[in-house]
Structure 1
């Protein structure tokens, strides 16, 4: 099952002209096979996701048909390990597989060790290890990071700068989990081996065959997700921090919506619904997402994390109307079922803080040519287009007196803190709330976007580049961090740059 997603000697030589030994050292990929070996190889590390009070979903990938075997222990010595027999990793899932770890104590550090065993039992891979913390119960505190937008606009893994270093900065913050707010890959952004920057410096990309064209086939979409895991920073982070993953547009194609027919010459397959189905399959194969927790078996789902925190993960891509739909008439971005699930879940939640993980910002105008890609329609006055559906959500939450709702998102490739208030709004039937934006994690930097006045947003803080598509070398990579204090329930948000330095912070006191 070794495919073009495994590094070859030729691919390493293409990494910015580096020799094979230097490139391998720069990328630190001892587990990626340069040639077929006599025993299985776990090619892309290990990941956990969708953590709960009693466990998490564990993911890995092997280079050939093999059995996934797992040891779980309360400490890194594995002296009292529990041994679990996982699935057979086969070509049907591109060699990927996952195992739900359960029956674990809440709020505890868990260590795991994974190997792949030949189907005849004669050979085993080198083990890979990792750890995570199960979700707590009671008044324990919580810390998580969030961001989005990885390997976009032509900026891939650059060995010269140490790869995707924002992941290293996030790991240093020791979060309990990571909320990946979409654009987890850029399936529509091919990479070239080098890019000359305006000041004459040369950006060098590691390039794999799957990243040389736009993704259209299932195998090409799989290659998009495999690419990011070639970075040692990404793999180290994934082994220690469980993820909660959602998607946006670039997992498929820029600004897509259901039913769209592309007119782009680089695509042979023009039907977005066909491309989206292939991308969704690759997404579920390569991400540690528990499909059984998704309400519709796709993306949107919720997680409780102790007394103080509940997270509601949205899918604002699969059910949206066309970008060309009338901007002044009611539109759709969630769909009736998901919107009802969201307001009902928020209404029932007893958590101090309810975090809505949105893959699109609410009040920023995001155009798609002359059409509208995002929620805000860019028009003054009463809600129109997709704003109409969000107005219904906000109105219902206000009438049900749902307090302490905070929205987090990425998408627009800069970081900002937005406060929404009916005192400034055209539509005033809602309670004030905050929306925090943070990205990109490793992509071109853009912004800022124009604020739409419908819901009365105020940009309290903005950190955006002076011009479009600045590379990750220029200091405009971002991630956000939310830290909830256990004893008081106070929530502190930090908007950080790609090195982990706090650019802006604010502590919110919960309403009772």
Structure 2
């Protein structure tokens, strides 16, 4: 049901990446343009210090996000475009719908001056130019940020979709280095003009201080832009917020987020390395060692800075409620994206050999996922996981991973995964692909009961990509319980620098019209294709 092919897009991607890097690499043009904390004289026009974002875009909805330099209310104007890329004015007979004007939530200290708009009832398969701005409490309009997005197709005849995914941003002390053009892997992804972007977690490294300089494994000196909030491990809410604001200082990140809708999940480093609920840290860098306290602050900051639906009221002073991270993003008849949260319900990092199931999804999320997959009519069902399924990731004497490093029958967390895979088989769900990151190298894994100790599941593929701007590691060993086989893998050197992008990776997927093909490419941060595989659907 699948066929391999050679990296036949290498030349095209190299050309796109080279053109992109030509505008970002000169040291004289640092990839920084805004302060971490909003500042500005009282009475000045509101600005957008962290740019604009669009997220969780479906066939009929989108979330618009920005952050202000002071208290204000978010506004947006969406200009629909015709097939020639011209704005539809709505004037005249048969010209279609004109601009859509929207008003969102207030940016205040309670939200670190972030705000969002949940846009609904949008036409499917439609490209929009966006104008996003804040009005202050006197009704004065501030800086206008411009961007674009396209709603998902409404019919199978609406053509192909493409998207990119990766993980691991600003890890191991590798932050924004103006000498190399900042986080240029984001510009390489943007240059491919994907319809949307999946971030598989570790969107920040709250536990990894970023210093002015860092010695790379080969002795070269990496130079970072730094802020006060990234100088130590994050413990306060404001320090967690500062980590997210730091990444948005990078011109490459802001440019991509303005043009490419984001669908993100979180993993461990949004709080601290390899954490689980109820853990008490022994790390001497922390004065706050209760992980539940850190995780609540980390989750709040993550939610404030991601363009995901916000359960709070549109007014001010309504308090904070955590949004549910696991969710389904419907991308038209050929594609559904299921975003997992493998951290909130995660059990302790034991050796993973318990006879009774220990948690990785939690019962509520497990049943939600099975039901969503069962009822999905999309040709392809992508599951965005923040942890790989069969990769062994030790954590001291325990296991951070689902796998327990034994090839036998499922135990511990593996029992919950076995229930998921068995349930998928017995309810007859087909054409499932797992996409993930976390382990700081790229890989293609095929899982099959023919090689497995546990056999009650249908074969499937898992593709791994990352890091995009962090140190490289791996590759890791695989646990044989579910029969994984390496079809391809590539890793940079341990703690490998993002300087030349050869050890940093992202993936690109193209879903062909009618869902007839699902083509995956693993690409390095320079734009060189490392691997290609095309899957065809089971009907």
TM-score by length of 1: 0.92
Count the aligned residue pairs. 488
Q: Decide which of 470, 481, 490 is 2:496's aligned counterpart.
A: 470
Q: Is the 8 A contact 1:325 1:331 kept in 2?
A: no
Distance 1:227 1:31 in 2: 8
- Measure the CA separation in 2 of the matches of 1:445 and 1:30: 28
Give 5+ residue unaligned stretches, structure 2: 1-25, 90-97, 313-320
Give the corresponding residue for 1:98: 116
Give distance in 2, aligned partners of 1:375 and 1:57: 32
Please provide the CA RMSD for this pair: 2.0
Cα deviation digits, residues 292-336 of structure 1 (max 9, x gap): 59x983200001111111111110000011002652432210011
Q: How far apart are 1:28 and its partner, in Å?
A: 5.2
Is 1:212 paired with 2:239? no
2:368 maps to 341
Question: 1:506 offset after TM fit, Å?
Answer: 0.6
Q: Normalization by structure 2: what TM-score?
A: 0.87
Whether contact under 8 Å (1:190, 1:211) holds in the other structure is yes
Partner of 1:289: 308
1:130 maps to which residue? 147
1:296 & 1:44 partners in 2: Cα distance?
22
Please name the residue that 1:401 is paired with: 428
Query: Aligned pair in 2 of structure 1 residues 458, 326: CA closer, same or farther (>3 Å)?
Result: closer
> How far off is 1:198 after superposition?
4.0
Measured after TM superposition, the shift of residue 245 of structure 1 is 0.8
1:227-286 deviation digits (Å, cap 9, x = unpaired): 100000000000000011100000000000000000110111111001101111111111
1:453 is matched with 480
- For the structure 1 residues 365 and 326, does the alpha-carbon distance in structure 2 shift closer, same or farther, using more than 3 Å as the test? closer
Aligned partner of 2:59 in structure 1 is: 53
What secondary structure does 1:83 align onto? strand
Q: Are positions 1:36 and 2:41 aligned together? A: yes
* CA 1:118–1:416: 2 relative to 1, 3 Å: same
Q: After the TM superposition, which residues 389-428 of structure 1 pair with which residues of structure 2 at under 5 Å, given as runs? A: 389-428=416-455
Aligned ranges for residues 49-448 of structure 1 at < 5 Å? 49-75=55-81, 80-121=98-139, 123-139=140-156, 140=158, 141-291=160-310, 297-324=323-350, 326-329=352-355, 330-448=357-475
Residue 82 to residue 304, structure 1, CA distance change in 2 (3 Å): closer
Contact kept in structure 2, 1:291 and 1:298, CA below 8 Å: no
Taking structure 1 as reference, are residues 397 and 30 closer, same or farther at Cα in structure 2, changes over 3 Å only? closer
Larger deviation, residues 95-104 vs 360-369: 95-104
Q: Aligned partners of 1:460 and 1:247: how far apart in 2?
A: 27
| Aligned equivalent of 1:16 | none
Cα drift, residue 82 of structure 1? 2.9
Q: Give, in whole Å, the separation in 2 of the partners of 1:396 and 1:192.
A: 47
Partner-residue secondary structure (3-state), 1:27: coil
Residues 446-469 of structure 1, C-alpha deviations (whole Å, 9 max, x = no match): 00011001001000000112x311
Measured in 1, the distance between the counterparts of 2:217 and 2:203 equals: 27
324-333 or 492-501, which deviates more:
324-333
Larger CA deviation: 486-495 vs 337-346: 486-495
Find the aligned partners of 1:30 and 1:373 in 2 and give their Cα distance.
36
In structure 1, distance between residues paired with 2:246 and 2:365: 32
Partner of 2:318: none
Q: Deviations over 1:136-164 (max 9, x none)?
A: 11213211111110000010000000000
State the distance in 2 between where 1:277 and 1:423 align. 42
1:23 to partner: Cα distance: 8.5
Separation in 1 of the partners of 2:255 and 2:46? 21
